[in-house]
């Protein structure tokens, strides 16, 4: 089947750098496109062609209404709408309207990111679980900064377990703070991206923002605070229980982690895995699960995440097969006559 869509202004951002946006549309829906003088022709299976036609008509209508797609936004939106037939480009764009987070103006780039932001607004404890590059930590910090600026909380607490990912930092020179800062650098990076450097320094000095290793949370009660526990997959069950019970009055907590990147020594059980099992169904707690479709870094990162997931599934299958083989009873060999 073939269909033709009239093109208007906005054709450059539709195609994107090196036609990357059209490649997402073509590969996601298994269609082929060709650009004419003032038309775009789509060819493929009838259902896929109709879906592509609807997406493109939404795009050109939004452009005519004044919508502007920047910095890979359209690429991220196309990845969502080609993967989920229930979502339209218009509804995704409208629901993901930009918000101001300090000096940053951001919009959720996927359905899951939108659900994540809504969950943080509505609930006092939210778990954001999924692979690297999905915006779990960055969006949590953005929401914390917005809440602090809006005076809904008096301080932000950012914490991470100090677990080495195959590296040893303990013998580095310097004070304790200088030794642990490398673990916490991603949290500082997000803060400096949201706020002016001078503002961050003043808030840190006044303890309105606190960035500290998880061990520093023990014995405290955190009232009137927006608390973010990052890299939660590297907590032990005891640490996870400890930090979850630090939450005080008028406080909100966001826990982020990637269960495929557990760096705990000696194969210890992850506190994040425990929390998912124990707290599922508890009123007031929301779990938001990200996957490779929500990756908002370089498109190669999405393919890397998918490749690792496929490999791990294969390894798990082989291990199960070996376990079943080992558990099978050995038939006695009949004696030779």
pLDDT tens digits, residue range 273-321? Answer: 999 999 988 999 999 999 887 887 666 776 787 788 788 777 666 665 6
C-alpha 335/C-alpha 337 separation (Å) is 6
Measure Cα distances from 61 to 17, 53, 65, 91, 335 in Å: 21, 12, 6, 12, 82
Per-residue model confidence (pLDDT) at position 175: 53
Dihedral sign from CA coordinates of 216, 221, 225, 227: positive
Q: Are 247 and 115 in contact (CB under 8 A)?
A: no
Per-residue model confidence (pLDDT) at position 170: 52
Q: Are 46 and 20 in contact (CB under 8 A)?
A: no
Residue 139, token pair as written in the block: 């969006």
Residues sharing a CB contact under 8 Å with residue 334, sequence separation 6 or more, in sequence order = none
Per-residue model confidence (pLDDT) at position 165: 44
Q: Are 243 and 212 in contact (CB under 8 A)?
A: no
Per-residue model confidence (pLDDT) at position 178: 58
Q: Are 96 and 115 in contact (CB under 8 A)?
A: no
Residue 147, token pair as written in the block: 């809440």
Helix 237-244 and helix 271-279, axial crossing angle in degrees, nearest 10: 60
Per-residue model confidence (pLDDT) at position 273: 95
Measured CA angle at 28 (ends 27, 34), to 5 deg: 50
In the predicted model, residues of the chain with pLDDT beneath 70 are 8-10, 70-71, 95-100, 163-183, 297-299, 302, 315-337
pTM: 0.68
Per-residue model confidence (pLDDT) at position 92: 76
159 forms beta bridges with 212, 229
Residue 300, token pair as written in the block: 């190669």
Residues sharing a CB contact under 8 Å with residue 222, sequence separation 6 or more, in sequence order = 157, 246, 247, 248, 251
CA proximity to 227, closest of 198, 266, 255, 267: 255
Residue 212, token pair as written in the block: 């500290």
Give the three-class secondary structure for 162: coil
Per-residue model confidence (pLDDT) at position 337: 47
What phi and psi, each to the nearest 5 degrees, are found at residue 132?
A: -60, 150
Residues 46-79 have pLDDT tens digits of 899 999 999 989 988 888 888 887 667 788 788 8
């Amino acid at each position: 089947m073939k269909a033709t869509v009239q093109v208007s202004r906005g054709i450059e951002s539709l195609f994107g750098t090196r036609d990357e946006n059209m490649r997402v549309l073509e590969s996601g829906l298994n269609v082929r496109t060709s650009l004419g003088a003032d038309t775009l022709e789509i060819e493929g299976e009838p259902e896929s062609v109709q879906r592509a036609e609807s997406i493109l008509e939404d795009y050109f209508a939004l452009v005519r209404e004044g919508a502007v797609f920047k910095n890979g936004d359209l690429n991220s939106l196309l990845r969502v709408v080609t993967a989920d037939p229930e979502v339209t480009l218009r509804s995704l764009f409208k629901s993901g309207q930009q918000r101001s987070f300090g000096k940053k103006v951001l919009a959720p780039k996927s359905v899951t990111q939108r659900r994540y932001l809504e969950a943080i607004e509505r609930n006092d404890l939210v778990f954001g679980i999924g692979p690297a590059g999905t915006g779990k930590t960055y969006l949590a910090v953005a929401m914390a900064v917005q809440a602090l600026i809006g005076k809904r909380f008096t301080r932000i607490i950012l914490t991470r377990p100090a677990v080495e990912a195959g590296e040893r930092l303990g013998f580095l020179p310097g004070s304790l703070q200088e030794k642990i800062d490398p673990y916490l650098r991603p949290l500082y990076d997000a803060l400096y991206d949201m706020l002016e450097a001078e503002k961050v320094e003043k808030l840190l000095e006044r303890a309105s923002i606190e960035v500290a290793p998880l061990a520093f949370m023990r014995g405290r009660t955190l009232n009137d605070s927006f608390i973010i526990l990052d890299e939660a997959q590297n907590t032990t069950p005891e640490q996870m229980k400890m930090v979850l019970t630090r939450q005080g009055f008028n406080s909100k907590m966001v826990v982020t982690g990637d269960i495929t990147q557990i760096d705990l020594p000696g194969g210890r059980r992850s506190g994040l895995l425990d929390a998912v099992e124990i707290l599922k169904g508890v009123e007031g707690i929301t779990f938001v699960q990200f996957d490779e479709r929500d990756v908002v870094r370089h498109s190669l990162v999405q393919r890397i995440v998918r490749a690792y997931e496929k490999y791990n599934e294969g390894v798990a299958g082989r291990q199960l097969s070996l376990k079943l083989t080992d558990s099978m009873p050995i038939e006695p060999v009949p004696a030779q006559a």
